[in-house]
Amino acid sequence: MTRRISQGRKATYYIGGIIMVIGALMFFSTFVTFAMHFGDFDNFEDNARSNAIRAFGGMSLLILGGIIMGVGRRGLAGSGAVLDPKQAREDLEPYSRIAGGMIKDALDESGISLGSAGRPGSEAVAERVVERVVMIKCPACAKLNEEDSKFCQECGDKL
Ligand SMILES: [Zn+2]
């Protein structure tokens, strides 16, 4: 299982970002050239067409870059580009792990330990909880005995 976001996905994310920057520059350059050629009616149609192409191209690049960044961030399956729920879960794993970790931290702080199903160690946690509920501590030697036992297993003291 991949515990980290792969280099490929990071690269995809940055490429998407670069495309977005290029798109933004292209889009805003139309305002600059529009201002520069303002009142230039000789090449008005050419300028207008060039502006329209750049405005449209810039916007397309912005959208495309945004999509590529999303794919890089969440992975192909995680972003829904590829329909693969199993892979999606793996792609989104760093995010769900962070969310789960934050919940776990909050619970740890409040003194509640919660073993999630399927995670190693959850059985041990459950056993400890059961132990605390069912066992009683010997007043003499502090050995844990079963709740219904009358004498301590360790020292024979009356419970
Ligand atoms: Zn005892």
Confidence band, pLDDT 50/70/90 cuts, at residue 41: confident
**CA 135 to ligand 1 center in whole angstroms:** 13
62 alpha carbon to ligand 1 midpoint, in Å?
74
Q: Picking from 8-17, 73-82, 123-132, which range would have the lowest pLDDT averaged per residue?
A: 123-132
DSSP character at residue 136? E
Q: Which amino acid is at 69?
A: M
Is residue 102 in some structural domain?
A: no
pLDDT in tens, 85-95: 777 777 777 66
* Strand, helix or coil for residue 41: coil
The answer to whether residue 84 scores a pLDDT higher than 80 is no
pLDDT at position 61 over 60? yes
Interval between CA 144 and ligand 1 midpoint (Å): 8
The whole-number average pLDDT for the span 18-25 is 92
Residue range of the domain that includes 86 = 7-93
Residue 158 and residue 84 share a domain: no
139 and 87 within one domain: no
Q: How confident is the model at residue 103 (pLDDT cuts 50, 70, 90)?
A: low
Does one domain contain both 19 and 80? Answer: yes
Q: Which amino acid is at 84?
A: D
Which pLDDT value is given to residue 123? 53
Give the Å distance between the CA of 122 and the centre of ligand 1: 29
Span from the CA of 132 to the centroid of ligand 1 (angstroms):
17
How far is the C-alpha of 145 from the C-alpha of 138, rounded, in Å? 7
143 CA → ligand 1 middle, Å: 6
Looking at the structure of the chain, the number of domains it has is 2
Helix H segments across the chain?
Answer: 7-36, 44-74, 85-91, 93-109, 122-134
20, 88: one domain: yes
